[in-house]
Amino acid sequence: MSSKVQFLRDYVAEDLANLCVAHDFYHIDRVDHLAGFLAEKEWIQNLDVVHGGALCHEFFDEKFFSQKELIVRSQTLPVLLEKFWFTHEEIAAILFIAHNVWYGKSLERNETFQMNPELAVVEDADRLESIWAIAIARTFTYGGKKSRAIYDPYELPGLPTDQQSYHNSSFSSIHHFYEKLLLLKDLLHTDSAREIAKTRHEFMELFLKQFYLEWNLEDLNV
């Protein structure tokens, strides 16, 4: 790890220390390690951009910051990156990742959006964080924070179509599997991520199968 990435890592760990535990620095750290792993598998050269983008991927999350705070943060981050000796080209690339990596934002992309390899592996890493056992824990943790039901068998299913509808969703935590988590394996960009996602996706399907058995008391041996 380069010294500038380490400086950024230390800053992010402190800056985002009080973020919701489903999006805390443990999550950011896992995304960073996953992104680095995918970057090496995909032969991506500029690892400082990959790690910088991964470490900053929660920096502008509208779920946690007001518009006023986001303006300040958008002014602060470039200055910090320059202070940590990132080049101007690297700063531009990291900001591009940080502003475009979240799932809600991706719903609004059109054919003119230009994906690049660095964003691809960071986005894949963040999405892999939503496809496995820890993703299940994160889903119910965030659902509890937002006072969402664990499951509502009577809610009408729906899918978000843009960033606003995604952020405003009030469906149960179980519904979140269908509006996002189970869709992710088909939205990955790299072969390396798709291979990892296979087993993780199957685990979530097994969890849901068991959940419905227990919810309906169909697992009782009577």
In terms of Cβ atoms closer than 10 Å to its own Cβ (0-12, 13-18, 19+), residue 128 is: buried
More confident residue, 178 or 170: 178
| pLDDT for the residue numbered 97 | 97
User: Is the sign of the CA dihedral 140, 145, 149, 155 positive or negative?
Assistant: negative
User: Tens of pLDDT along 17-45?
Assistant: 888 888 899 999 999 999 999 999 999 99
Using CA atoms, how far residue 105 sits from 60, 120, 124, 156, in Å, is 11, 14, 14, 24
Round the average pLDDT of the chain to a whole number and report it: 92
**Where in the chain are the domains?**
3-215
CATH number of 3-215: 1.10.3210.50
| Cα–Cα nearest to 117, from 38, 171, 194, 174 | 38
Instruction: Return the structure tokens found at 102.
Output: 């979240």
Q: Give the Cα separation of 51 and 83 in Å (integer).
A: 17
| Total-model pTM | 0.92
Supply φ then ψ for residue 64, to 5 degrees. Answer: -120, -10
User: Is the sign of the CA dihedral 154, 156, 157, 158 positive or negative?
Assistant: negative
State mean pLDDT over 132-150. 93
